[in-house]
Every structure is written in C-alpha cells, then in structure tokens.
C-alpha cells in the first residue's frame, strides 16, 4: 500500500516483472478487496499471486518510531514478516523509507559480523551503471562500518551488475592536507591489507561518480545521501534548462523535432525508473525500497533487483566473505574491547 500510486502501480509493476521473469511468485500485502480488483486486470497474476490482508498502511509522513510501535500489522510490516518467516525470499516496498528501514532492522536484525545495515542503490554513469552505499541509513560511520559496506557493496555489484571482480572506491575529498576524515583513512588502510574478492582502488572524489570511476562507491550515509540527491537535483535542473533551450524560439523548436530521437535516448538513459530499487544490505533477509514516485516500470525494475539478489544468493555470499575476512574486520573491535 506504499508509494504515491499504490496499490495499482505495485500490481501493474508485478505483472510487468512477471512477463520478464515467469517463475517469480508474488505475495501482495494490503487491502484484499482493493488488491484483488487491481489483480483482475492482469489474468497472468492470478495463478502466481496470493494476498495477505490488512487495511493498515504506514503513512508517508509517519515517523519511523511511530511505525515501529503501531504498524507491525501494516502492509509494510506483513511484507517484512513474510521474509522473516520464510514465506517470501525478498520484500519490495514503495512506502516510507525511514519506517521501512527501522522496521526491517528491528524485525530482521543485522547479520553476524555486520554492525549496521546500509542502503545501496544504482546510478547511471558515463561508463554505464555503478552502485553507491550508504545512501542514508547511517549518518555517522567508523572505519569498520565502511569496510563492511565495501564487502557488501561488492557482493551487490556481483549479483546485480554481474561483475566477477568489481572495483570499489572510498569517496573522499581532494583538497585537504590529510585527505579526509579518520574513518575514511583507517578504512582505506584496512582494505589495502585484506585479501579481498574485489579490487579496492582507494580514494575517489565526488566527480568520479558521474564518470563511473568505480563500480561501487563507498561512503557514510550523510555524504552519500547528500551526493545522490545533489546529483538528482542537478540532473533535473539541467533537464529543465534543456527544455527551455528547445522552447526558446521557432528554430530551436524545429531543432527539437529533428533531434527528438537522440534526446529520447538520453532521457531513457537517465530515467530514474531504470535505476529504481534501493536495497537494505546487512540484515538477515532482503528488503528492497522502491521510490515512492516510481511508475509500474520502475516498480518492475525494483522487483528485478530483488529477484537478481535472490537468484545470486547474495546473503550467502556476504556471509561467506565476512567469515573469511572476519579476523581483519574484527581487529579493531577486539582491540577496543580489550
């Protein structure tokens, strides 16, 4: 029931996803009558979908703490519960991000070896597509959090981008004498001395994001969230300027008619629906966050991300990597405890 256009967009997006991935099964959590009415529009869904009924929905302006106290029986709560009890392999929600994060963390708990979960997402770059984490789950991160993010991010790039040995970089600033804060420097030192299943390339600066300097950008949730949203805002601003440029006079309007095909390709390349589907990594279960404003195609993309992770067995990969590298990531915590 989450998202601006739910449940219609959720059901239609599922029908779209089913056409691409015919062996997926769906468990819709929400108002049974309402969902069934939407499902009736897509006969293919009938045999492969069931409904867990609830009329409770987390509102987009509910605080995470409110949601935690009052909304365990909401559509969001039921979806996470389905992952917890094994009825579903992964939950996909277009609802309130803060509530989804808080409830996922509380109900699923973090994996052994992970102190904090992270929100990871895809973004378009000049080289193609890259992933970035954390996008806002944790605003303050120490070096061990960043190392764990790097390990989880690389596993995600393997599952979603199909990369055998992704490149991973730590976002950092380039003008300061000591090049960044302590967490970033210590995380880099640690990663340099670990036998990693990915290629750690060291520090990258913010302009590396648009270039696609690495496959996975790792940073704390504060700068990651600011960088992602700043990029989205600038992209919208430039798109607006382009629209104005084409509308400025008759000649430029004519120009648009001729250039329309190229411009449409550009818009497709940057379409946020293509990159929809943030993932909370580091929990004992998979939860995917769709943009609240996603359309059916965007929701289908988020389902695609979810299915790719399940098929890849990403949770096992992360658990294995953490276990193998455990001594290295755990060092400072042992030292801190001793």
Interface of this chain with a second copy, residues 171 to 210, rule: CB under 8 A: 171, 173-177, 180-181, 205-210
- Residue 244's CB is within 10 A of a number of other CB atoms, namely 10
Nearer to a second copy by Cβ, of 82 and 187: the residue is: 187
- Which tokens in the block code for residue 319? 């658990």
Q: Can you list the positions of beta strands (E) in the chain?
A: 26-30, 49-53, 90-93, 118-125, 128-133, 167-171, 199-204, 216-218, 278-281, 286-289
Among 19, 20, 37, 126, binds a second copy (CB under 8 A): 126
DSSP symbols for 259-301: HHHHHHHHHHHH-GGGG--EEEESBSSEEEE--TT--HHHHHH
Q: Which of residues 134-153 bind a second copy (CB under 8 A)?
A: 135-140
Contact with a second copy (CB under 8 A) among 192, 236, 316, 333: 236
**What are the distances in angstroms from CA 92 to CA 18, 38, 291, 299, 325?**
14, 18, 11, 9, 30
CA diameter of the chain: 74
- For residue 286, give every residue at least 6 positions away whose Cβ sits within 8 Å of its Cβ, in sequence order, or none: 83, 89, 90, 91, 279, 280, 306, 309, 310, 314, 315
69 binds a second copy (CB under 8 A): no
Q: Which of residues 1-20 bind a second copy (CB under 8 A)?
A: none
Binding to a second copy in span 247-266, by CB under 8 A:
247-249, 251-252, 254-263, 265-266
Near a second copy by CB under 8 A: residue from 77, 121, 153, 221: 221
The CB-of-225 to a second copy minimum distance in angstroms stands at 4
Number of residues in contact with a second copy, rule: CB under 8 A?
A: 75
Contact between residue 143 and residue 319 where contact means Cβ atoms under 8 Å apart: no
Question: Residue 235, interface with a second copy (CB under 8 A)?
Answer: yes
Give the integer Cα–Cα distance in Å for 295 and 297.
Answer: 5
* Binding string, residues 25-64; x marks residues near a second copy by CB under 8 A: --------------------------------------xx
Q: In whole angstroms, how close is the CB of 275 to a second copy at the nearest point?
A: 13
In terms of residues, how long is the chain? 338
Closer CB to a second copy, residue 19 or residue 247? 247
CB closer to a second copy, 107 vs 228: 228
Rule CB under 8 A: is residue 333 a binding residue for a second copy?
no
Candidate segments 22-30, 148-156, 166-174, 294-302, binder of a second copy by CB under 8 A: 166-174
**23-31, 156-164, 238-246, 329-337 -> range binding a second copy (CB under 8 A):** 238-246
Write the CB contacts of 311 (distance below 8 Å, at least 6 apart in sequence). Answer: 159
Nearer to a second copy (CB atom), residue 111 or residue 137? 137
């Amino acid at each position: 029931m989450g998202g601006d256009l739910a449940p219609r967009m959720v059901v239609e997006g599922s029908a779209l996803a089913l056409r691409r991935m015919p062996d997926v099964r769906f468990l819709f959590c929400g108002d049974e009558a309402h969902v069934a009415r939407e499902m009736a529009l897509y006969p293919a869904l009938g045999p492969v979908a069931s409904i867990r009924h609830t009329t409770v929905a987390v509102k987009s302006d509910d605080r995470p703490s409110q949601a935690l106290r009052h909304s365990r029986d909401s559509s969001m709560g039921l979806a996470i519960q389905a992952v917890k009890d094994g009825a579903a392999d992964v939950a996909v929600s277009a609802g309130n991000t803060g509530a989804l994060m808080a409830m996922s963390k509380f109900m699923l708990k973090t994996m052994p070896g992970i102190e904090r979960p992270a929100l990871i997402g895809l973004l378009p770059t000049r080289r193609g597509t890259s992933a970035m984490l954390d996008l806002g789950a944790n605003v303050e991160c120490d070096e061990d959090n960043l190392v764990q993010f790097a390990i989880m991010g690389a596993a995600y790039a393997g599952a979603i981008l199909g990369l055998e040995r992704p490149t991973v970089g730590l976002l950092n600033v380039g003008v300061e004498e000591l090049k960044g804060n302590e967490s970033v420097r210590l995380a880099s030192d640690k990663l340099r001395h670990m036998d990693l299943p990915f290629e750690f390339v060291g520090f990258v600066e913010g302009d590396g994001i648009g270039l696609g300097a690495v496959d996975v950008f790792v940073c704390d949730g504060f700068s990651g969230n600011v960088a992602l949203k700043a990029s989205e805002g600038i992209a919208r601003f430039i798109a607006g300027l382009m629209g104005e440029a084409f509308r400025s006079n008759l000649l430029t309007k004519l120009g648009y008619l001729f250039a329309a095909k190229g411009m449409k390709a550009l818009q497709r390349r940057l379409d946020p629906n293509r990159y929809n589907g943030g993932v909370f990594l580091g929990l004992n279960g998979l939860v995917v966050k769709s943009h609240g404003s996603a359309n059916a195609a965007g929701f289908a993309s988020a389902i695609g991300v979810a299915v790719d992770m399940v098929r890849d067995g990403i949770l096992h990969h992360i658990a294995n990597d953490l276990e193998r590298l455990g001594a290295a990531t755990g060092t400072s915590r042992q030292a801190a405890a001793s």
